[in-house]
Amino acid sequence: MTTVHVLNGPNLNLLGTRKPEVYGTATLDTVQQMCRETAAELGVDLVFRQSNHEGELIDWIHEAGRDVKAGESIGAVFNPGAYTHTSVALHDAIEGVELPVIELHLSNVHNREPFRHHSCISPVATGIIIGLGVQAYPLAIKALHQRAN
């Protein structure tokens, strides 16, 4: 069975308690359940991960890229959190393994602080979903699935 990877960056483990007025009240466990349900509907397996460590995210991107090349994955949904604005290393990892990525942000980063307006990830992303809250995750999985089929 084909897999979709859902990768979450720093502080997303605090979802539901950190700035609920910006990020909402759903927890990461709720998001994972939403993703599991969507993946099951589409007949794909789900790898769902979160890390506060850039190197671990890079390793997971490499893994997802290998899976895509082997025909075992349709790509990754990636919410890089604050690494969006700073990580050339994540950009290079995605580009290096030619990973189809839907970049995802819960809030509309363009109506927030100016430093959030720049993304290191967007230039190598297949698509970007911003500002739709946790509902963006199922949409991103469906977009990857549609692109792969």
Cα–Cα distance, 107 to 47 (Å, whole number) = 23
Q: Is 62 annotated as a binding residue?
A: no
Q: Is 92 annotated as a binding residue?
A: yes
Q: Is 29 annotated as a binding residue?
A: no
Q: Which of 5, 83, 91, 105 is catalytic?
A: 105
Q: Is 122 annotated as a binding residue?
A: no
Cα–Cα distance, 43 to 1 (Å, whole number) = 8
Rounded to 5°, angle at Cα 87 from 86 and 89: 160
| CB-based burial label for 9 (10 Å; 0-12, 13-18, 19+) | buried
Cα–Cα distance, 99 to 65 (Å, whole number) = 5
State yes or no: is 23 an active-site residue.
Answer: yes
Q: Is 116 annotated as a binding residue?
A: yes
State yes or no: is 137 an active-site residue.
Answer: no
Q: Which of 5, 23, 83, 137 is catalytic?
A: 23
Q: Is 87 annotated as a binding residue?
A: no
What positions carry a catalytic annotation?
A: 23, 105
Residue numbers belonging to the annotated binding site for substrate:
79, 85, 92, 106-107, 116
Residue numbers belonging to the annotated binding site:
79, 85, 92, 106-107, 116
